[in-house]
Homo-oligomer: A and B are copies of this chain.
Amino acid sequence: MKKMINNPDDVVEELVSGYVKAYPDYIRYSENHRRALIGKKRHKNRKVSVLIGGGSGHEPGFLGYVGQGMADGVAVGNIFASPSPIPIQTVTQEIHKGDGVLYIYGNYAGDLMNFEMASEMTEIEDDIKTTAVIGNDDLASSKDPTDRRGIAGELLVFKVAGAAADFGYDLETVTKLAQKANDSTRSMGIGLSPCYLPQTGKPSFDLEENEMEIGLGHHGEPGIEKTTIRSAKETTEVLMTNIFKEGIYEAGDDVVVLINGLGATSQMDLYIINNTVDDMLKSKQLNTHRTYVGDFITSMEMSGFSITLMKVDDELKKCIDHQVDCPNFTQIGGHDDDINK
């Protein structure tokens, strides 16, 4: 394990502090809680606020997605652990502008418990209405979609929710669109080598030098199968075939593609993978509306990647194409030019 850190007990405080210092025009600490971060840019048409959050170790997720066109604030947990209800409540109070707050988080026991508790607290104590969309795109984690974990596909849900909020829609409509985005999204990934938890120095899972794990989770949760390492093409075919089997993508559909590196897999590999993704989409007569390739939601220095497909209709396309200005996720164009004016 070779990390460039200081005291292992301080990694989360220091990463958040370094982040806020890097982007002072974009984000600030809440004065009331060090794990509650508040965005500084907000579209003038936005009524509803969007709150995201989850464990640390997924940088630039989740704090990297606070910015104009995305989330208004983020609650930051410890490494691979949910934020507690207090910072969630704090963010809710500070980003709320009178028309409610949408929470988006992954389908993990700790997140469910803490976000639900925060939601009750803000409703009772602060009279703020909240809704929730729970990311569950990882099809390898369970046959039952309600038991599935959220992985990289959450980025696309943030994107859609942020755009819908910028369009000035009300809480019900923003929530409905974000839920549609989530329901239209499936992901599957593989792991090649583990990350190391800063405080213990222990690997998040074990694999032999010639092994890969198909369906591995973002915190090292077991996948479907350990096999010898296959080629990029064979591996991508396994993932895409499983995504297609979900049966939600039909010939003629438009899809958004997200190829997400987990941290240590090189960008070169991710682009090589895109050839097979592209071939298989064409063979199924699916049209690629937009492709994102990069390290968006990582697992520290884990090696591996995931593929996400989101089926998009005109409404979702308009959201996906909307302009975004976050430190780590910026996109020009779309249907609204008055950002930053």
Is A293 part of the binding interface, using a Cβ–Cβ cutoff of 8 Å?
yes
One digit per residue, 1 when the CB lies within 8 angstroms of any chain B CB and 0 when it does not, for chain A 172-216 equals 000000000000000000101101000000000000010010000
State whether A4 touches B267 (Cβ < 8 A). Answer: no
Q: How far does the alpha carbon of A269 sit from the alpha carbon of B59 in the complex, in Å? A: 10
Is A33 part of the binding interface, using a Cβ–Cβ cutoff of 8 Å?
no
**Considering the complex, which residues of chain A in the window 287-341 have a beta carbon less than 8 Å from any beta carbon of chain B?**
291, 293-295, 298, 300-301, 303, 305, 323, 325, 327-328, 330-333, 339-340
State whether A2 touches B192 (Cβ < 8 A). Answer: yes
Selected contact of A5 from candidates B232, B294, B303, B325, CB within 8 Å: B232
State whether B331 touches A330 (Cβ < 8 A). Answer: yes
Measured as residues with beta carbon below 8 angstroms from the partner, the interface class of chain A is 35 or more
Q: How far does the alpha carbon of A303 sit from the alpha carbon of B3 in the complex, in Å? A: 9
Q: How far does the alpha carbon of A132 sit from the alpha carbon of B97 in the complex, in Å? A: 53
Total copies of the chain = 2
Is A22 part of the binding interface, using a Cβ–Cβ cutoff of 8 Å?
yes
State whether B268 touches A56 (Cβ < 8 A). Answer: yes
Q: How far does the alpha carbon of A271 sit from the alpha carbon of B18 in the complex, in Å? A: 5
Q: How far does the alpha carbon of A330 sit from the alpha carbon of B340 in the complex, in Å? A: 14
One digit per residue, 1 when the CB lies within 8 angstroms of any chain B CB and 0 when it does not, for chain A 260-291 equals 00011111111111110010000000000001
Is A57 part of the binding interface, using a Cβ–Cβ cutoff of 8 Å?
yes
State whether B4 touches A232 (Cβ < 8 A). Answer: yes
Is A233 part of the binding interface, using a Cβ–Cβ cutoff of 8 Å?
yes
Is A19 part of the binding interface, using a Cβ–Cβ cutoff of 8 Å?
yes
Q: Given A271-B59, A323-B332, A233 and B6 touching (CB < 8 A)?
A: yes
Q: Which residue of chain B is the closest to A323 with respect to CB atoms?
A: B332
Is A44 part of the binding interface, using a Cβ–Cβ cutoff of 8 Å?
no
Is A222 part of the binding interface, using a Cβ–Cβ cutoff of 8 Å?
no
Is A17 part of the binding interface, using a Cβ–Cβ cutoff of 8 Å?
yes
Q: How far does the alpha carbon of A327 sit from the alpha carbon of B23 in the complex, in Å? A: 21
One digit per residue, 1 when the CB lies within 8 angstroms of any chain B CB and 0 when it does not, for chain A 1-12 equals 011111000010
Selected contact of A301 from candidates B212, B257, B266, B330, CB within 8 Å: B266
Residues of chain B within 8 A (CB-CB) of A113 are none
State whether A11 touches B272 (Cβ < 8 A). Answer: yes
Q: How far does the alpha carbon of A330 sit from the alpha carbon of B330 in the complex, in Å? A: 6
**Considering the complex, which residues of chain A in the window 10-31 have a beta carbon less than 8 Å from any beta carbon of chain B?**
11, 14-19, 21-23
> Nearest chain B CB to A310's CB is how many angstroms away?
15
Is A235 part of the binding interface, using a Cβ–Cβ cutoff of 8 Å?
yes
Q: How far does the alpha carbon of A232 sit from the alpha carbon of B340 in the complex, in Å? A: 35
Residues of chain B within 8 A (CB-CB) of A4 are 190, 192, 232, 235, 265, 269, 272-273, 305
Q: Which 9 A-B pairs have the closest CB atoms?
A: A18-B271, A18-B274, A59-B267, A264-B264, A330-B330, A22-B291, A2-B192, A4-B269, A266-B300
Report which A residues bind B (CB closer than 8 A): 2-6, 11, 14-19, 21-23, 56-57, 59-60, 190, 192-193, 195, 209, 212, 229, 231-233, 235, 257, 263-275, 278, 291, 293-295, 298, 300-301, 303, 305, 323, 325, 327-328, 330-333, 339-340
Would you give 7 A-B contacts (Cβ < 8 Å), ordered by A?
A2-B212, A4-B190, A4-B305, A6-B233, A18-B271, A60-B267, A263-B267
